[in-house]
């Protein structure tokens, strides 16, 4: 039977075909750089999975920092509403990161052992973007900066983030600007220090939650922050479970305690008063 050529889909006349002098999709996204960056060291089939999961995670982290830093600056300007969409976007990005552990968990212990030694001392513990996210959320640990001393540019970026206000500090300042009583020590403190629970901050959040109509914007900000912390804790938990599933309780490649360290991290709260008030409401 002769095929009726007229029944085949025709190329739309409007489709542009000559890119001699025009930018293509690949050019705009610089796909030549991105897609040539998966350089395994072992030749093992599953190393590609390992590399792409971590590279993709770093790209999502870059977007989290882009959105969260813009949201923080908006809050510091006392412009809360523009920050809400940015913070909503952050929590959805976090969901992508959480789901990535499900993909990585298809890597079995036997498969990972085939190329783990090729990683040398490199480890996710050294992710400077993950550290920046933690600093931006308010979890400050000056000691971790020593890992980046051999990279002066990254060290300077991290040092600056360590010395800067966190997004929670910005939220507390916003409450103070609205006339809610916040202790002076919370408004002008050493920003390099990890945030600790403060009774005046808890009372201020209780006031917000007890009069939502009057403080709707602060209430909405609080709930956006809770969304982000909730997702961050889920990411931490899935990270811990995936690591335990693949390497058990072996030390991390970078020298960390591995699963036992990750379990300790899960206990940490970024915005403690936003959780404690739920019992008191």
Residues 6+ apart with CB under 8 A from 227: 87, 88, 91
Q: Is 247 annotated for ligand binding? A: no
In this prediction, residue 150 carries a pLDDT of 94
Dist. CA 22–CA 105, nearest whole Å: 42
Q: Is 53 annotated for ligand binding? A: yes
Dist. CA 27–CA 50, nearest whole Å: 26
Q: Is 270 annotated for ligand binding? A: no
Q: How far is CA 72 from CA 37, 52, 95, 110, 167, in A?
A: 32, 30, 21, 44, 5
In this prediction, residue 105 carries a pLDDT of 95
Question: Does pLDDT of 1 surpass 70?
Answer: no
Q: Is 52 annotated for ligand binding? A: yes
The model's pLDDT over 69-111, given as tens digits with 9 standing for 90+, comes to 999 999 999 999 999 999 999 999 999 999 999 999 999 999 9
The model's pLDDT over 207-254, given as tens digits with 9 standing for 90+, comes to 999 999 999 999 999 999 999 999 999 999 999 999 999 989 888 777
Q: Is 51 annotated for ligand binding? A: yes
Q: Is 20 annotated for ligand binding? A: no
- The structure's pTM equals 0.91
Percent composition of the chain: helix, strand, coil (DSSP 3-state, to 5):
65, 0, 35
In this prediction, residue 11 carries a pLDDT of 55
Residue with the larger pLDDT of the pair 148 and 264: 148
Kindly state the tokens that stand for 274: 């936003």
Q: Is 50 annotated for ligand binding? A: yes
Q: Is 150 annotated for ligand binding? A: no
Mean pLDDT of 162-191: 97
The Cβ of residue 139 has, within 10 Å, a number of other Cβ atoms equal to: 18
Mean pLDDT of 48-58: 97
Phi, psi of 95 (to 5 degrees): -65, -35
């Amino acid at each position: 039977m002769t095929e009726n050529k007229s029944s085949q889909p025709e190329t739309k006349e409007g489709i542009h075909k000559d890119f001699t002098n025009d930018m293509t999709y690949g050019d705009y996204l610089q796909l030549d750089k991105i897609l040539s960056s998966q350089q395994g060291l072992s030749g093992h089939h599953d190393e590609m999975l390992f590399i792409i999961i971590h590279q993709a995670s770093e790209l999502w982290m870059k977007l989290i920092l882009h959105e969260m830093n813009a949201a923080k600056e908006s809050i510091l300007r006392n412009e809360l509403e523009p920050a809400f969409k940015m913070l909503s976007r952050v929590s959805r990005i976090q969901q992508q990161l959480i789901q990535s552990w499900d993909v990585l968990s298809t890597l079995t212990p036997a498969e990972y052992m085939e190329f783990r030694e090729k990683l040398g001392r490199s480890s996710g513990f050294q992710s400077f973007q993950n550290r920046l996210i933690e600093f931006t959320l308010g979890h400050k640990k000056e000691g971790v900066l020593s890992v980046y001393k051999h990279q002066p540019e990254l060290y300077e970026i991290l040092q600056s983030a360590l010395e800067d206000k966190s997004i929670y500090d910005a939220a507390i300042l916003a409450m103070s600007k609205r006339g809610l009583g916040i202790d002076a020590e919370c408004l002008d403190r050493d920003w390099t220090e990890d945030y600790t629970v403060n009774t005046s901050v808890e009372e201020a959040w209780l006031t917000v939650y007890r009069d939502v109509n009057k403080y709707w914007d602060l209430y909405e900000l609080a709930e956006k922050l809770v969304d982000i912390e909730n997702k961050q804790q889920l990411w931490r938990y899935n990270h811990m479970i995936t690591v335990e599933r693949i390497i058990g309780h072996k030390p991390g490649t970078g020298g960390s305690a591995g699963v036992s360290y990750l379990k300790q991290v899960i206990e940490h709260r970024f915005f403690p008063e936003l959780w404690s008030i739920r019992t008191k409401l």
